[in-house]
Amino acid sequence: MKQVLLSLTTIALVCLMMVGGAFAQFSDTETSRANIVAAGTLDLVVNAENPLESTLIDFQNMYPGEYREVEINLTNQGSLAGNTWMMFTDLVCSTGAYVEPEAAVEGDTPIDDICSQIIVSIDGVEQGTLAEIANVAIPLFLLEAAGNGNSGVTMVLGFLFVEEAGNEYQGDMCEFTMVFGLDQAT
């Protein structure tokens, strides 16, 4: 019986070889090598600093009704286009220099929320008081990818100390952080 099975297996193998030989045909393949999938980049640069380390706002000695502004350049050094935004955060208002007229108005109740008396504008468009817009991402503009002499966009950031601010704000100060962001556009 074992011999019969071996013989049948042999016959089957021979048949397969014959069939394989009978259906051989011409063929061809083409090969593409070194194909790549790679991520692009986004890299925001502020006032030619990357990373940004400078303080951008240092408006001392302001008076009610005064407006001051600063120009800030945002550039994309990456290979992808991106949308920019900015946010004021970590606001800390304090009494700063405490003077007699301020004390006369405040009495035992300090009023130091000067961030509610500063109106912020971007390119002339009012965004609200520092207090109102704190911790909210403000959309700015599209930045194209780097290259072709792309020098980014320069925005004008304005600060208006409202005219109505009274003696309770004399000497007060507000320190804050500004965050600039670049998010992929597509």
Q: Which residues bind Ca ion (CB under 5 A)?
A: 43-44, 50, 95, 111-112, 168, 172
CB of 77 to Ca ion, least distance (A): 7
Instruction: Rank residues 105 and 138 by Cβ distance to Ca ion and give the closer one.
Output: 105
Neighbours of 4 (CB within 10 A): 8
In whole angstroms, what is the distance from residue 115 CA to residue 132 CA?
9
* Distances, alpha carbon 156 to alpha carbons 1, 102, 121, 153, in Å: 97, 32, 8, 10
Q: Nearer Cβ to Ca ion, position 7 or 94?
A: 94
Residue closer to Ca ion by CB (options 130, 172) is 172
CB of 43 to Ca ion, least distance (A): 5
Q: Quote the least distance from Cβ 64 to Ca ion, whole Å.
A: 13
Please name the helix (run of DSSP H) or strand (run of DSSP E) that holds residue 9, with its range, or none.
helix 2-22
